[in-house]
Amino acid sequence: MGQREILLAIAGLLNKHKIPYLLTGSFASSFYGYPRATHDIDFIVEVNPQSLKKLAAVLPTLGRAYVFSRREFVSGNAPRMVNVYHKKTGIKIDFWVTETSKFKQELARRRQTQFDREKLALVSPEDLILTKLLWCKEIRSERHFNDCAGIWIVQKGKLDEHYLRRRARELSVSDLLAEISKRDIEKEGI
């Protein structure tokens, strides 16, 4: 079993049990921008107690091939992240738990696609860029910055630039967004 099959198994499980999610991270970056290798699969889920309870109940149905810590769900506080591992391959599946208002906004802007026979909900390219720029603001990561630049270049003309620029100002990452657009100009040779 490889990443593709694991991604489809997890997405299928979330879809089947109606747990709202967004595929994010390097899979979403590769979908919108330039492909790159990764050894994990990232999903965003809501911090809503019902969603977390449902996720905690559903994860064991993946079977013995997967392992995760049940302690993350019983600590009394909502976890920030839940890690699931596929034992045989070592592939890690991260469930990033986010606040309800942020999740609802990103869920409303999601992009849906069909991957094989499974429906996938992906974080929008604009929200993915903003999230990665926020990480770069904290700790400069060329990998995340290059992901953003790749999405910007490949999705040029399809991005909601008004939303992207407005949110970048609100999040104080306008300077990083400007760097990405400059890379676009350099790449185009303008």
DSSP assignment of 153-167 equals: HHTTTTS-HHHHHHH
Give the mean pLDDT of the chain.
86
| Nearest one of 157, 127, 99 to 24, comparing CA atoms | 127
Which pLDDT belongs to residue 76? Answer: 55
Write the pLDDT tens digit of every residue in 80-96.
778 899 999 999 998 88
Q: How far is 130 from 152, CA to CA, in rounded Å? A: 11
The per-residue pLDDT for range 166-177, each reduced to its tens digit, is 999 999 999 999
Burial group, residue 188, by CB count within 10 angstroms (0-12, 13-18, 19+): exposed
pTM, entire model: 0.86
The total of other beta-carbon atoms located within 10 Å of residue 34's CB is: 13
pLDDT in tens, 40-73: 899 988 767 777 778 888 888 888 999 987 666 6
Q: Which domains does the chain have, with CATH numbers?
A: 3-123 (3.30.460.40), 127-188 (no CATH)
Q: How many C-beta atoms surround the C-beta of residue 128 within 10 A?
A: 26
